[in-house]
A and B are shown apart, each in its own frame.
Chain A
Amino acid sequence: MASYRTPLGRARGLGSAKHGAVDWLSERFAALALVPLTLWAVFGVLRLATLDYLGAVQWVAHPLNATLLVLTVAVSFWHMHRGMRVVVEDYIHKNMSKLGLLLLNFLVCGLAGALAVFSILKVAFSGGAY
């Protein structure tokens, strides 16, 4: 992974894990990527709300829509995993409860994100055949 640490920061040897800059930047990049992706998704929802099952399948099967949907879902679930992690770390101080909630957050985001991505790809590749 490329280092985003400044030469001065490296020279001083500050920071604990030495990769905070990458973590910090990747969180911001994900959040910024979500601005256009989710705004597009709002119009996607408005479109889907007027469509029945077959219409929705055709809409999702369009390569542009399928790609943007997968990107939106993947980046969103990564972003919300990070966000909920911070919330848990800020408010839960008992060690086992914190660990349990962090694990739950990881599993929920991982499972729901994987289910969503797989389902979108399945509809896109099969045209809704089930």
Chain B
Amino acid sequence: MSDARVPRERPLSPHLTVWRWHITMAASILHRVTGVGLYLGALIVAWWAVSLAAGPEAYDQFRGLIGSPLGKFVLFGMTVSFFYHLASGIRHSVWDLGHGLTIKSANALAVASFAFAIAATVAVWFIAFTTGAL
């Protein structure tokens, strides 16, 4: 006879261990990661505004830091993050309206978001390069 106090071994559902990476997972995680990254970007914008209001010395100091190689690297990361978060946000709005909810369209929206982020980043940095903003 079995002892009622000892729980029997129950079969475990395999769905927690059997999975693979999917593009929609990456898209979802990246939406959060870029959102947190842009949080820091917004703080840089606040710093920019304060330095401009504080006068020429503070503003030149800000420009020096943001124009340094590290500053440009951060700005590049912010550009990619911004355009990805923007495209991915529109992807979410499409879903909120009740469209694009099949696996095929969800995959397509994720690919489109990645493609837009890369294309827009290249375009903006090309413009920055040609207008002497760099």
Q: A-side interface residues toward B, CB under 8 Å?
A: 28, 31-32, 34-35, 38-39, 42, 46, 49-50, 53, 56-57, 60, 69, 73, 76-77, 80, 83-84, 87, 108, 112-113, 115-120, 122-123, 128, 130
Contact = CB atoms under 8 A, between A and B. Distances in A.
Majority secondary structure, A binding face: helix
B18 interface: no
Interface string B43-63: 101100110111110011000
A69 to B, nearest CB: 8
Majority secondary structure, B binding face: helix
B96 interface: yes
B122 interface: no
Contacts, number: 85
Looking at A39, A49, A84, the one whose CB has the most chain B CB atoms below 10 A away is A49
B127 A46 contact: yes
Interface stretch (B7-15, B19-27, B31-39, B102-110): B31-39
B49 A115 contact: yes
